[in-house]
Amino acid sequence: MRRNVSRSDAARGDVYQIGDVAERVGLSLRTVRYYEEAGLLMPVGRTVGGFRLYDADAIERLLLIRKMKPLGFTLEEMRSLLTLRDELAAPDLAADTRAALQERLGTWVLLAEEKLSTLREQVSVAESFVGGLHDDADRRGGTA
């Protein structure tokens, strides 16, 4: 039986506890806690008893993190990138500051594309391996 914490707080500021969050984004509790430890994601608050509380933004953030994972970013890298994104999200930035941040973001884009291309290479390596396996499996008789 699921608890509906969502309805407990009115006024559009829904909060979720870690189990809900984990289920929604498909990560383990441990992983969510570890991401906090790694500085990737802080809970918006805690209950009196110490339960972590998250909001919808946290869920977004976790989904984003999940998307980065296949690219092989380390948590450290993700932390940097997310921080950068956060800084860019501020609405009152001097133009030059914003430009500087955006240039740093460009570096990340390049890095991500690099990683993407190595990921693609891995797919083709994997394909050739699976092809080879098929050969091994289909060759019923002898090699000669």
Partner DNA sequence: GGACAACTCGACCCTAACGTCAGCGTAGGT
Partner DNA sequence: ACCTACGCTGACGTTAGGGTCGAGTTGTCC
Residues near a second copy (CB under 8 A) are: 64, 66-68, 70-71, 85, 88, 91, 102, 105-106, 108-109, 112-113, 115-116, 119-120, 122-123, 125-130, 132-134, 136-137, 140, 142
Could you give the count of Cα atoms lying within 13 Å of 14 in the half-sphere of its Cβ? 12
134: partner contacted, choices DNA, a second copy, none (Cβ within 5-8 A by kind): a second copy
Q: Which is nearer to a second copy, 30 or 120 (CB)?
A: 120
Q: Which is nearer to a second copy, 47 or 129 (CB)?
A: 129
Q: Is 118 near DNA (CB under 7 A)?
A: no
Closest CA to 64 of 51, 45, 83: 83
What x/- string results for residues 63 through 102 when contact with DNA is judged by CB under 7 A?
------x----xxx--------------------------
90: partner contacted, choices DNA, a second copy, none (Cβ within 5-8 A by kind): none
For 10-67, the DSSP string reads -TT---EEHHHHHHHHT--HHHHHHHHHTTS---SEE-TT--EEE-HHHHHHHHHHHH
Number of residues that bind DNA (CB under 7 A): 29
For residue 36, CA distances in Å to 26, 41, 48, 76, 81 come to 16, 5, 19, 12, 15
Which of 14, 39, 44, 51 is in the footprint of DNA by CB under 7 A?
A: 51
DSSP at 26:
T
- List, in sequence order, every residue forming a beta bridge with 17; answer none if it has no partner: 53
Smallest distance from a second copy to CB 82, Å: 11
Q: Is 108 near DNA (CB under 7 A)?
A: no
**Dihedral sign (CA 113, 118, 123, 128):** positive
